[in-house]
């Protein structure tokens, strides 16, 4: 619902900006004096091709408003196109979100330079000033530059995409957005963790392959393993049909894992999607417990034997 509402607002904004731009581009349609209409038209023709030999007048302010509308209109149209492209898949959504963030900054820069040019400021001097300021800021904002460069490598190397489940340090969650500077991860509790792109190192992408859910269950030392293995050979095949939403394969008996203090540890596994990994792991433990209970096999628990002296 939120995405549809956002898309509707974008389209409405595009329509309003187009109408305003159209009116400002044709001042003769506005209830203004003839002389002012002529001045606006001449100023628009001059400043929309970056000439800067006019004084700051009402006509220039109207032209500035038109330029802002044009930039905003182009930005919204390009953003809408990128959003439509992003619906093709997680990879497309990831790339288009990064491009949308860059587009926003680019639109702001163009708007400032173009606006100052309309007001009579030399565009060359503005660009040179921007370059010098950018150089100064670059020395003091190395972490910002590192975030941007790392984010670009994340996108182009396809390290992870929106919707992937990753494990970063002690956080396991779903990637919700990848911006120019940060990545947003949502954990199983719905909490959002915002991480600078340059801080994302040594992570696991758990969505590229199916995950293996494991269960280790003990049986008593008195258990006849041969008989138990015959029971499992009949019961485990077809177990996926009982839980198709969680299991991607039948439960597999992997053998004896350990001869523990209180019993013999048996190991079971099943393939599952990472998004349902914990549900599948809990379901696997339940199925193993029911299998042993239904066939009369004992699951031991630690016991303490006390010997009393005479």
- Where residue 236 sits, what CATH number does that domain have? 3.30.70.100
Number of domains making up the chain: 3
How far is residue 196's CA from residue 141's CA, in Å, rounded to a whole number?
Answer: 13
Same domain, 229 and 195: no
Per-residue pLDDT of 56-115, as tens digits, reads 466 777 777 888 888 888 888 888 887 777 777 666 666 777 777 778 778 887 887 777
Same domain, 198 and 120: no
- Does residue 274 lie in a domain region? yes
Same domain, 201 and 255: no
Per-residue pLDDT of 10-51, as tens digits, reads 777 777 777 777 777 777 777 777 777 777 777 776 665 444
- Does residue 96 lie in a domain region? yes
Q: Mean pLDDT, to the nearest integer, of 207-226?
A: 88
| Residue where the block lists tokens 């293996």 | 212
Per-residue pLDDT of 231-286, as tens digits, reads 999 999 988 888 888 899 999 999 999 898 888 999 999 998 888 888 899 999 99
Structural domain for 190, as ranges: 153-205
Q: Is the pLDDT of residue 8 over 60?
A: yes
Q: Using pLDDT thresholds of 50, 70 and 90, give the confidence band for residue 53.
A: very low
244 HSE (CA, 13 A, CB side): 1
Nearest to 79 by CA among 54, 98, 55: 98
- Does residue 111 lie in a domain region? yes
């Amino acid at each position: 619902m939120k995405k549809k509402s956002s898309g509707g607002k974008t389209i409405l904004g595009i329509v309003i900006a187009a109408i305003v731009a159209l009116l400002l581009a044709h001042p003769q349609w506005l209830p203004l004096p003839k002389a002012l209409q002529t001045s606006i038209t001449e100023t628009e023709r001059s400043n929309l091709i970056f000439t800067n030999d006019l004084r700051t007048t009402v006509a220039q302010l109207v032209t500035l408003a038109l330029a802002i509308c044009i930039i905003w209109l182009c930005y919204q149209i390009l953003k809408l196109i990128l959003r439509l492209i992003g619906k093709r898949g997680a990879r497309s959504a990831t790339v288009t979100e990064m491009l949308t963030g860059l587009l926003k900054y680019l639109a702001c820069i163009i708007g400032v330079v173009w606006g100052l040019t309309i007001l009579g400021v030399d565009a060359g001097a503005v660009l040179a000033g921007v370059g010098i300021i950018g150089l100064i800021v670059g020395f003091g904002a190395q972490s910002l530059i590192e975030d941007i460069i790392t984010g670009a490598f994340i996108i182009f190397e396809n390290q992870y995409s929106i919707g992937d489940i990753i494990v970063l340090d002690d956080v396991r969650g779903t990637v919700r957005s990848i911006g120019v500077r940060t990545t947003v991860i949502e954990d199983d509790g719905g909490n959002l963790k915002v991480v600078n792109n340059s801080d994302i190192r040594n992570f696991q992408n758990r969505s590229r392959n199916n995950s293996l859910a494991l269960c280790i269950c003990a049986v008593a030392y008195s258990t006849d393993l041969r008989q138990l293995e015959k029971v499992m050979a009949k019961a485990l095949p077809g177990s996926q049909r009982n839980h198709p939403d969680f299991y991607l394969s039948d439960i597999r008996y992997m053998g004896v894992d350990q001869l523990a203090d209180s019993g013999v540890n048996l190991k079971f596994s099943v393939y599952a999607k990472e998004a349902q990994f914990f549900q599948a792991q809990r379901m696997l433990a339940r199925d193993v417990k029911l299998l042993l209970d239904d066939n009369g096999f004992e699951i031991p628990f630690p016991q303490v034997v006390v010997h009393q002296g005479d």
